[in-house]
Structure 1
Amino acid sequence: MVLRKFIDIDEAKCDGCGNCVVACAEGALRIIDGKARVIKEQFCDGLGACIGECPKDALKIVTRDVARFDETAVEKHLKENRKVCPGTAVHEFRDTPVVPQTPVDAAACPSQLRQWPVQLHLVSPAAGYFQGANLLIAADCCAFSYGNFHRDFVKDRAVVIACPKLDDTEGYIEKLVNIIKEGNVSSITVVIMQVPCCRGLARIAQEALKRANRPIPYSEKIISIKGEVSG
């Protein structure tokens, strides 16, 4: 053990977004039970490269008596885990099932989708359903993670979905620019998952809106892997 600089995580502030996990070049951090945690003390170099990536100000550098930084162990760790994406970490939910509280909640929720196709790489920017529409740009996984997705997001919107991790996203920005311009889109709502790789879809949407040069309302919503909405 040695007295040295080390990352301190305020769990009360941490929302489990995973930005710090991606920023940590040594792979010292991991999302466990919805919170960022140091998996091994010797993996943290104490330089704090992750701090600036935290949107909740949950990280700080402190001086603490911990294991010495082990560069050899870090190299071995990175080699063994280089193909692992924090967004694909395994989570299993065993919470008490949600019981509908009212007859309305218990009733079947009809689909609010008013178009086809919905995949961004398949839709045509000239499609009539984009004309003057409130546009929803959603990550593929969102509808599976949030039970009221149709009611709260799909209703009264034109929809495009995409996955910034698995899709070939080349051309997505230009396609969205064309949708925004040709469709004279009225507003944009982006809904993504609370995993690091999903931020790419928000960046694509933001860049498209910038290039389209249209001052229309823009908002983002983030859905946690347990179906909680923020933003």
Structure 2
Amino acid sequence: MKRTIIKIDEELCNGCGECVTGCHEGALQIIDGKAKLVNEVFCDGLGACIGDCPTGALTLEEREAEAFDEAAVEAHVSGKKKAPEVHFAPIHKGCPGSMARSFEKPAGTSMVSGSSELQQWPVQLHLLSPSAPYLRGSDLLLAADCTAFSVGDFHSKYLKGKKLAIACPKLDQGREIYINKLINMIDDNYLNTLTVMIMEVPCCSGLLQIAKEATASAIRKVPVKLIQVSVQGQVLREEWI
């Protein structure tokens, strides 16, 4: 049958193993220093692993492939005694900017100016793994890129106590990837609430549509709050939807 399935560019793959942990179906494995699709029936073709790849080696293609087999995936995942071994040095080999980190403020420290409420890295939605441990059971702020530059008290009022994902619905590629990531965050990582913060400009409403499609498709239902701000930082609309 012809269907969408993952494609791996081995020239771009650096063997970092980020995609292996990002694939919940266990379809990917590092073999001889490169990511490999171990079995076509394990790949659902949703591309949730693409955003975990720091080099852009993963894409989706439509080709002849065996049908996705959910029962085979369940047996494969449950039958593994441990996660596939990924052989690489302790140093993060991918892009340093995509290395996952959680932040805890040491006692007695402060920022040069103001106080940052950022609790994790990375924050860009393409780089954010939907299975990241720090997202589990969290309240997620999905913010348009420009909001933090417009709202003076973004950190203290809106980011405090939340994990962060930023995106631009006009400039970013991979709308379906964003939707699938949010679905995985809701269903597999048990997001508690989702707050969508957008600008007043028309193109920014696309981020709200992404959130709506994801929450509508997710099995679990989570409360969604919309915050819309003007280009000068005034809150124009704030409500649960």
TM-score of the pair, normalised by structure 2: 0.50
Calculate the aligned-residue CA RMSD, in Å. Answer: 1.3
Identity %: 49
Length, aligned pairs only? 125
The residue type equivalent to 1:221 in the other structure is I
SS of the aligned residue for 1:209 comes to helix
Q: What is the DSSP-based 3-state SS (H/G/I as helix, E as strand, rest coil) of the residue aligned with 2:141?
A: strand
From the CA coordinates, give the structure whose radius of gyration is larger: 1
In the TM superposition, residue 108 of structure 1 has moved relative to its aligned partner by 3.7
Hey, what's the Cα distance between the residues in 1 that align with 2:140 and 2:216?
15
Looking at structure 1, the residues matched to 147 and 174 of structure 2 have their Cα atoms a distance apart, in angstroms, of 18
C-alpha deviation, 1:153, in angstroms:
1.3
Q: 2:112 matched to 1:110? A: no
Write the mapping of 1:1-231 to structure 2, written as runs, cut at 5 A. Answer: 108-170=113-175, 171-231=177-237
CA distance in 2, matches of 1:196, 1:119: 21
Structure 1 stretches of 4+ moved >6 Å: none
Kindly state the Cα deviation for residue 183 of structure 1 after the two structures are TM-superposed.
Answer: 1.4
Give the distance between the partners of 1:190 and 1:198, measured in 2 at CA: 11
**C-alpha separation between the residues in 2 aligned to 1:154 and 1:186?**
15
Distance (whole Å) between structure 1 residues aligned to residue 212 and residue 157 of structure 2: 22
Cα displacement (A) at 1:202:
0.3
Deviations 1:106-129 (A, max 9, x none): x94210001000000000011011
Q: What SS is found at the alignment partner of 2:169?
A: coil
CA distance in 1, matches of 2:219, 2:203: 26
Structure 2: distance between partners of 1:193 and 1:140 = 9
TM-score norm. by structure 1 comes to 0.52
State the distance in 2 between where 1:204 and 1:153 align.
20
State the Cα distance separating 1:197 from its structure 2 match. 0.1
State the distance in 2 between where 1:214 and 1:204 align.
16
- Point out where structure 1 has 5 or more consecutive residues left out of the alignment: 1-106
Specify the code of the residue in structure 2 equivalent to 1:168. Q
